[in-house]
Amino acid sequence: MRDLDGMRIIGPADGEFSEGARSKRRELISASETGGRWSLGEVTAEPDESVATHVHPGEPEAFIIVEGEVELHGAQGVAHLAPGDVVFIPPDTEHGLRTPNGGRWLAVWPIDERVPGKRYAD
């Protein structure tokens, strides 16, 4: 990590790393640096990783696909995303995803707890 006049430059080996069952996450900008509102991070997911549909009450989310293929699941449909696609998810919008062959994306996500979506609820 480098600094320039109070600005932080984050390199490819910097950040806080964590692992999930089938994915790796690198937090680049933490919630403590944004007044507790959001974080910026990179996610690398294995093939067939999924995130159940959910909503972020009152908060938006955004991400850009860097590598692989991502299925974006909404309340009723599915969109197929590829590298270079940018997604903006308005507050209170049901969304989830699946990576059929693995993928990597950069995301700005809200900190507050997720509320499960209705699409795949029994």
Tell me the CATH number at 90: 2.60.120.10
User: Tokens 């692992």 sit at which residue?
Assistant: 19
92 is a domain residue: yes
46 is a domain residue: yes
Instruction: Look at residue 22 in the predicted model and tell me its pLDDT.
Output: 87
| Residues sharing a CB contact under 8 Å with residue 116, sequence separation 6 or more, in sequence order | 52, 53, 54
pLDDT higher than 90, residue 30: yes
pLDDT higher than 90, residue 53: yes
122 is a domain residue: no
121 is a domain residue: no
Instruction: Look at residue 118 in the predicted model and tell me its pLDDT.
Output: 87
108 is a domain residue: yes
43 is a domain residue: yes
Residue 27: pLDDT band (50, 70, 90) is very high
> What domain range includes position 75?
2-116
Mean pLDDT of all residues in 74-103? 96
SS3 assignment, position 31:
helix
58 is a domain residue: yes
Burial readout 30-39 (b: 16 or more C-beta within 10 A, e: otherwise): ebeeeeeebb
How many domains are contained in the chain?
Answer: 1
Instruction: Look at residue 122 in the predicted model and tell me its pLDDT.
Output: 56
